[in-house]
Structure 1
Amino acid sequence: MSRTQWAALASVVLALLFAGAATVASALSPEPAPAALAAPAADSADAGFARDMAVHHQQAVEMSFLVRDRTKDEEVRRLAYDIANTQANQRGMMLGWLDLWGLPKVAPGEEPMSWMGMPSHGPSHGSSHGSGHGPAGGDGALMPGMATAAQLDGLRAASGRDAEVRYLKLMTAHHRGGVHMAQGCVDRCRPGVERDLAQGMVDAQESEILLMADLLRKRGATP
């Protein structure tokens, strides 16, 4: 082996030795991990969003199962399945965070949307609103976009194209309310997985609103 080849081999060996030493040193003296974020307060945007959006998602799942059993249209059934599956999973994540934070899933006496600095009642996003976290009474709804009891009864009684149109209109309003709430978390929640999830909700639900508008037009209905 020539002198040049020996020099090159020696350089490679030395580089490997230095790399190994650096790896061992790093393993023996790891950098301290950043301190874990403290759990948010019960009245924080993080906790309020998790509680309110879990309730909001539950109704979307319910409506999606209702329409799935009332139409044979594959486009609507596929959309309903995607919404039910996605929002059920997201709801589980938000309830799980509340458990990890040691916070209640229900806040008696606290108005929904108070973490956004706004009351839940009053006309918004195509629905009337009530207060509290329990089931909507009469024609009252809980939060922006949520269907009233009468609207849910109408969906249960419908079938075929009528059920499809009712579902698409109700879910469009529901998504608009959901986007409004999720954007509230993007603007107010702490940086991290919850705020990232909220941004993902905004992006996904805005896309689905456009899809539902197309599906409504195909059925001769106004988006």
Structure 2
Amino acid sequence: MSSDTTSLDAAPASGEVPARHRFGYAALALLLAGIVLGAGIGLVVPRFRTPADDSVEAGFLRDMSTHHAQAVEMAMEAHADSITPAIVTLSADIATTQQAQIGYMQAWLRDWDLSPTGGEQPMAWMPDAAGSVVDGLMPGMATPEQLASLRKATGKDLDVQFLTLIRAHHLGGIHMAQEAEDLSDNKDVDWLADSMVTAQQGEIQLIDDLLKQAQAG
């Protein structure tokens, strides 16, 4: 029986690459291209996604860490000295929540290889923030004199001072968080800012009720 001259194993014409080899070379070329592209993405994307030192994200996290630290301080004063159970509970919730959020913010700054404090003025990350900072204090923050008065207060006076100060503090913090959420394109920062707005708006409703009770008492 004669051999089949159309066999796939037949020798190719001089200089011609077999079809199966051409497929193999094409697959190899695509694989190498994928490796190079993947390496390029690995180098570029982390830098693209990591906020810079002068970014909205870095400025917000630094400023809000400072803002939160004062809220924690005031809440601990009320928690230690108030004799009103609802205020003791509220102050504990505020201190616990905001201290945990400080932990998030400081951890992210470390992950981004950024200092927890920056060289820019407070609120520099927020456009049109002129006038928002008064005597170095961000929106809603208590003055040194107000903090000194809170530390000395007792009874009804303590409750009224704390609720008044923390209400203003929450309003300032909400404004900052809303601005950060609008300006940032980092999903983690957006999530945290939104959490702050939701929690503090809810607490303001409770604060208003407690303040009415304290002032009427």
Identity, in percent, stands at: 44
Aligned to 2:106: 95
Q: Please state how far the C-alpha of 1:220 moved relative to its aligned partner.
A: 2.4
* Structure 2 counterpart of 1:101, one-letter code: W
* Structure 2 counterpart of 1:91, one-letter code: I
2:143 counterpart of 1:148: yes
Higher relative contact order (CA 8 A, sep 6+): 2
Task: For 1:143 and 1:104, locate their aligned partners in 2 and report how far apart those are by CA, in whole Å.
Answer: 20
Aligned to 1:116: 126
**Cα pair 1:111 1:119 within 8 Å, conserved:** no
* Unmatched 5+ stretches in structure 2: 1-37
Deviations 1:130-187 (A, max 9, x none): 23xxxxxxxxxx2000000000001001011110110000000000000000001110
**Cα pair 1:112 1:119 within 8 Å, conserved:** no
Structure 1 residue runs of 4+, over 4 Å off?
32-37
**Cα pair 2:57 2:186 within 8 Å, conserved:** no
Number of residue pairs matched by the alignment: 174
Q: Please state how far the C-alpha of 1:85 moved relative to its aligned partner.
A: 0.2
Aligned to 1:130: 135
Q: Please state how far the C-alpha of 1:111 moved relative to its aligned partner.
A: 1.3
* Structure 1 counterpart of 2:168, one-letter code: A
* Unmatched 5+ stretches in structure 1: 1-31, 132-141
Q: Which one has a larger percent helix, Structure 1 or Structure 2?
A: 2
**Cα pair 2:160 2:215 within 8 Å, conserved:** no
Aligned to 2:27: none
Task: For 1:42 and 1:182, locate their aligned partners in 2 and report how far apart those are by CA, in whole Å.
Answer: 19
Query: Which protein has the larger Cα radius of gyration, Structure 1 or Structure 2?
Result: 2
Task: For 1:203 and 1:38, locate their aligned partners in 2 and report how far apart those are by CA, in whole Å.
Answer: 26
Q: Please state how far the C-alpha of 1:210 moved relative to its aligned partner.
A: 1.1
Q: CA RMSD in A?
A: 1.9
- TM-score, normalised relative to structure 1: 0.73
- TM-score, normalised relative to structure 2: 0.75
* Structure 2 counterpart of 1:168, one-letter code: L
Task: For 2:158 and 2:138, locate their aligned partners in 1 and report how far apart those are by CA, in whole Å.
Answer: 23
Aligned to 1:61: 72
Aligned to 1:137: none
Task: For 1:206 and 1:76, locate their aligned partners in 2 and report how far apart those are by CA, in whole Å.
Answer: 17
